[in-house]
Amino acid sequence: MKQSNRKGFTTVYVTLTALVLIPVVGLAVDFSVLYNVKARLQAAVDAAAIGSGNMLERSTDLTNLTQVNNIKDSAQRFFNANYPSNYWGSTKIYYDSTPSEDASRTRTIYVHAAYDVPMLFLRVIGVTKSRVAAQASVKVRFVTLMIAVDRSGSVVNGGADTSIKNALTTFVANSTTSVFVDGRDYVGMVSFGGNWKLDYAPKLAFQTSTPSIGTAINNIPFDNSSSTNTSDGLWQAYYQLKQLNQTGSLNVIVLLTDGRPSAFPGQFTMNSSPCNSSVKNGWLGANVGSSAAQWPPPTDTSSFHTFGINKTQWASTGADKTPVTNNTGCSFAGNPDNIQSDISTFPNSVMPVDNPTVSPALGPFSTISGVYPAPGNNTNNPRSVRYAAFNVADNIATAIRQDTAIRPVLFVIGLNESTGEPLDADWLARLANDPSYKDSSGNSVFQVGQTSGMYFNVSASGLPGAFQQIASQILRLSQ
């Protein structure tokens, strides 16, 4: 073949090859541009949805055009901060952010956008632009919160009552410091000593109604001689959540206590006459140790007593050990420490006597099995009563954590002061079902298949920090 013919063939070959290679190279370059724009656009709509979530959460009325526009404006600012104008020469086709609320009051903001991106090399084959789109959404649940506050004698004797009031005020009552929104979230409170009191039924207008949650906090009836009926505190807080039945919300119980349980509610069978009436509903308790010398376990020495049967619900007199009515002829009516003359044993299982039923029905709850093995059910043994108080509260907490309808989250604060009996931190962490906590033997307290929570072990000065961490966790869980 002549040299000139070879040159002609090479020219044709290169020309034909170029017709294939140029579009392929152009495709690679332009696809890289599209990928870059797509990644940036997705990051921008993600930022818009997440960034406006806080305003979506704190708004009270999505039928209010001003509030809706404020949410949309917030989303737009986050989008603009993450997607520069004319990025890689792109032009906007559409952008929109839509806040909404469904029947369960779960809120959603949906952000979506599309841009046309000019092609650089593919123009040679007639492709001048390509479209990229991205979308993102964030769901925000409102919060239904019940606070259960221990107002027992050790709290007062330790001087922590004022610290508790101040920390709770910052946590829920002060609109400038609280993450809970008046008009959107439900907030209520129960307190417990030996008896329990619904200090504040959960309300939407908890900060602005009269009385407000702040008034209830200031009026918590701390009593320097009351017991610790943790069972009723947990149950009555849970009962309020179940009555509201806000399945679309984040249901939360915050339990604040400084001691180990010393009382439990139930239906108790009296001995034969002269004690009037064979069955009485109330709470049974045993007094606690005055120092760490009685730990562990709850003491059974003769210097300690079992007492009751007392009214479970807050009495008008405010007395913690107010005997139940219809007690003519009962030894405990004149002196609560004489209960052994009226009742020799307590039942192996009990139910709270106030608001005892929820749907689906739960209980009764064992007094002799649970977190501690039963030392018996003889009322002459104060240790038996104390162990029963642990077991009933523990079994109630287990039932709460197993509720798959409203799925309550338990946050437990152990107020660790130096007066009286020390905390049982391992048990309180078990109540919360804290997955990160290890007990004194290095074992996990977490119970698989049950809603997890968190435990905080703090002194009175650490209460604000504990509540702040709980608020942060609630904000995280509600989104």
- For residue 295, the model assigns a pLDDT of 47
Helix 425-432 / helix 382-401 crossing angle, nearest 10 deg: 30
- How high is the pLDDT of residue 127? 84
Whole-number Cα distances in Å, 237 to 11, 72, 251, 370, 435: 87, 37, 11, 21, 23
Phi, psi of 145, rounded to the nearest 5 degrees: -120, 130
Ranges 135-149, 167-181, 318-332, 340-354: which has the least confidence = 318-332
Q: Is the pLDDT of residue 205 over 70?
A: yes
In the predicted structure, residue 267 carries a pLDDT above the cut 60? yes
88-110 pLDDT tens trace? 999 999 999 999 988 777 889 99
Q: What is the structure's pLDDT at 248? A: 84
What are the tens digits of pLDDT across the range 118-143? 988 777 778 889 999 999 998 888 89
- The model's pLDDT over 137-185, given as tens digits with 9 standing for 90+, comes to 988 888 999 999 999 877 877 778 999 999 999 999 999 999 899 988 9
DSSP, residue by residue, 366-393: ESSSSSS-----BTT-HHHHHHHHHHHH
Sign of CA dihedral 422, 426, 431, 434: positive
Average of per-residue pLDDT across 201-205 = 96
Quick one: pLDDT band at residue 365, thresholds 50, 70, 90? Answer: very high
Average pLDDT over residues 430-450: 94
Bridge partners, 101 (sequence order): 107
**Kind plus residue range of the DSSP H or E element containing 23:** helix 3-51
Query: What are the phi and psi torsion angles at 400 (to 5°)?
Result: -65, -45
Q: For residue 360, is pLDDT > 50? A: yes
CA distance 249 to 238: 14
pLDDT band at residue 3 using 50, 70 and 90 as cut-offs: low
**Could you give the 3-state DSSP secondary structure of residue 98?**
strand
Whether the per-residue pLDDT at 7 is higher than 90: the answer is no
Mean pLDDT of the chain: 87
* pLDDT for residue 463 is more than 70: yes
Residue predicted with more confidence, 63 or 122: 63
What is the Cα–Cα distance from 323 to 262, expressed in whole angstroms? 17
- At residue 10 the predicted structure's pLDDT band, cuts being 50, 70 and 90, is low
Strands 186-192 and 143-150, sheet pairing: parallel
Mean per-residue pLDDT, 25-46:
88
pLDDT at 259: 79
Provide the residue ranges of all domains of the chain, joining segments of one domain with +.
3-140, 143-477
| Superfamily of domain 143-477, CATH level 4 | von Willebrand factor, type A domain (3.40.50.410)
Residue 457 has pLDDT above 80, yes or no: yes
Q: What would the two tokens of residue 171 be?
A: 């946590």
